Amino acid sequence: MSVSIGCSRDSFDPFHRQVNSLTAISPHPSFSIAAGGELLLMLMLCFVYAGGAVPAVNEAHYVAKAKHYWQPEWGDKDFFLESADAHVAFYWSIGWLTKYVSLTTTTWIGRLAAWSLIVTGWFRLTRSMLPQWGTSLLTLALTICGWHYAHMAGEWVVGGIEGKSLAYGLVFWGLAALARNQWRWTWILFGGASAFHVLVGGWCVILAGLVWLSLPLQQRPSIRSMLPALVIGFVISLLGLLPALALNRDVDTSVAREANHIYAFLRLPHHLLFHRFQTQFVTRHLALFLGLSIVGLLTVHRNASLSRVVRFAIAAGSVAGVGAILDLALLSSPETAASLLRYYWFRLSDAMLPVAVALAIVWLTLNWSERSSVAQWGIVLMMGVAVLGIGDVARLRMQDRRPAADAQRMPVDPQFPEQAWLKYGDWRAACAWIAAQTPPHANFLTPATPQTFKWYTGRSEVFNHKDIPQDAAGIVEWNRRRLRYNELDLYDDEEINLERLRAFCRYYVVDYVIVDRSRAVLDLPFPVVYENDSYRILWIPPAEP
């Protein structure tokens, strides 16, 4: 396909004159077939990058919680599903679908809704500074590569469906309003993002405030003129803020402190603690920030729309810098560190630096087209980077077509790649038997690492490492169960404390135990009701009164 993205001088050569005459549009175009085609290509790009089998890593967590919100009888004994509800706006927007269609169908509808919100917001954002056809698609592809290969704290934007996915869709609509100097809409849309995910939207409000402060006085809209929109945005954000505040209402201070430590230091240090990040992740993200600083200097006085987006991203990187300083300064005060760093200081840096870098590089490249052929070669190079980067992700997914939620916990051994598929098949078979042959309200002790037990069976489980609640009391209880689970030593190769196991099953009213046969050495003296090559299901007789 031959497409000229942004050559602005018709006299460059006959070919570019022809392409430019077909693709040139006004800075504020009405919707057209060409625009619709580009939006469709962007949606297809999201599918190529993130359209793997359901469920993705977080979907087994969030979509299951949304289903339980609307159908409390589903998994009614499950500790995580019964924990406090933190994402009510997400449950109301997507969760109700689970009453009428399957989890898989609900998830695909949610994915398409989130991707559509993201690409339309992205399209509006890019058209404020890059009106040429194809630039929205190119910059989105480059940004996805940046998200995938240059994150520091593991944040993602285009992926599965959860509240965060919808929040980022509204963030891009709000960022588009910011780029166009439409501050009232910025505050309202960021308030909407806060409703779906209070931290994503809340940080965006703070970053927009920093952008406002960084502008020359004559370019700032007055607070008075923005006040109604600020109030509207705040009211909308209460849909996310009030459930978040209610999580720890009436919780003892000591419980809250313990929960903060568990959350930050035991469960999510790879997202929250700078000193725990991999060195290569930090290095590549710092390189991205350096690149943003350079292109920011080159564009800050040349395009007002782009300048505001760059300022927004630099503010996000600066917030991450503050988070890193806090983390390193509080190494000897873990209690204080946990209470501060649980707010995801690095999230928006991961999300926004690639956005600004992609937009700025493409804008600078297209401006060179008036002077040399460097722009054409630059566009070709960027297209090649995007194709290779996203193509590699798609290639790896084609090699392993298991849902990401399963693949993450059943990694492929390069020496015996077929074993992962065999174990996955056995897991699905065991779950299918459970769904068909056990009572709907049965409670299971499962291997702690698989994430998809509830998804495939609709049954409750006592503990799962992935499924940590959001409220302080729930987090502390999650850790208590984790410790008690580890004490069982089900996979000890010498001795299993049967009395401890029986006491555990009595305390948590366990009906069945699933044993991973690839790890188990010793047999347990309970009736076997199902087994395959990888898993054995044991029935635990009810305790005598």
In the Cβ-directed half-sphere of 89, how many Cα atoms lie within 13 Å? 23
Before 334, cis peptide (omega within 30)? no
Residue 261 lies in a domain: no
Q: Does a structural domain hold residue 141?
A: yes
Helix axes 279-299, 347-368, angle to 10 degrees: 40
Q: How far apart are alpha carbons 135 and 126 in whole angstroms?
A: 7
Residue 369, pLDDT score: 59
Q: Give the structural domain span for 44.
A: 35-247+269-399
Based on the fold, state whether residues 479 and 530 are members of the same structural domain: yes
Tell me, yes or no, whether 519 and 388 share the same domain.
no
Say yes or no: 509 and 373 in one domain.
Answer: no
Q: Is 505 helix (H, G, I), strand (E, B) or coil?
A: helix
d(CA 455, CA 98): 12
Q: Cα Rg for the chain, rounded, in angstroms?
A: 26
Cβ-count burial of 417 within 10 angstroms (0-12 exposed, 13-18 middle, 19+ buried)?
Answer: exposed
Joined tokens for residue 299: 């564009």
Shared domain for 314 and 425, answered yes or no, is: no
pTM value is 0.92
Residues 371 and 439 in one domain: no
- Please count the structural domains in the chain: 2
Looking at residue 543, its pLDDT comes to 73
175/204 Cα distance (integer angstroms) = 9
* C-beta of residue 55 within 8 angstroms of C-beta of residue 455: yes
DSSP H or E stretch at residue 231: helix 223-246
Q: Which residues does the chain have with pLDDT short of 70?
A: 1-31, 369-372, 544-545
Phi/psi of residue 445, nearest 5 degrees: -100, 110
How high is the pLDDT of residue 296? 87
Domain-embedded: residue 135: yes
Whether residue 471 is contained in a domain is answered as yes
Q: What is the pLDDT of residue 521?
A: 74
β-bridge mates for residue 515, sequence order: 536
pLDDT number for residue 16: 42
Answer whether the bond into residue 525 is a cis peptide, omega within 30°.
no
Last residue of some domain: 345, 367, 399?
399
Residue 253 lies in a domain: no
Tell whether 437 and 389 lie within a shared domain.
no
Q: What is the pLDDT of residue 411?
A: 86
Is 374 inside a domain boundary?
yes
User: Which residue, 292, 282, 293, 272, is CA-closest to 354?
Assistant: 292
β-pairing, 535-539 with 528-531?
A: antiparallel
> What distance in Å separates the CA atoms of residue 135 and residue 199, rounded to the nearest whole number?
30
Is there a single domain that holds both residue 452 and residue 384?
no
3-state secondary structure of 73: coil
Does residue 391 sit in the same domain as residue 430? no
Task: Tell whether 98 is covered by a domain.
Answer: yes
Are 382 and 339 found together in one domain? yes
Among residues 370, 399, 428, the one where a domain terminates is 399
- Pick the closest to residue 113 from 170, 74, 52 (CA basis): 170
Same domain, 436 and 383: no
pLDDT at position 5 is 41
Give per-residue pLDDT as tens, 137-193. 999 999 999 999 999 999 999 999 999 999 999 999 999 999 999 999 999 999 999
Q: Would you state the pLDDT for residue 373?
A: 75
As a whole number of angstroms, the distance between CA 321 and CA 345 comes to 9
Residue 404 lies in a domain: no
Same domain flag for 359 and 482: no
Q: Return the pLDDT at 496.
A: 82
List the structure tokens of 348: 């928006």
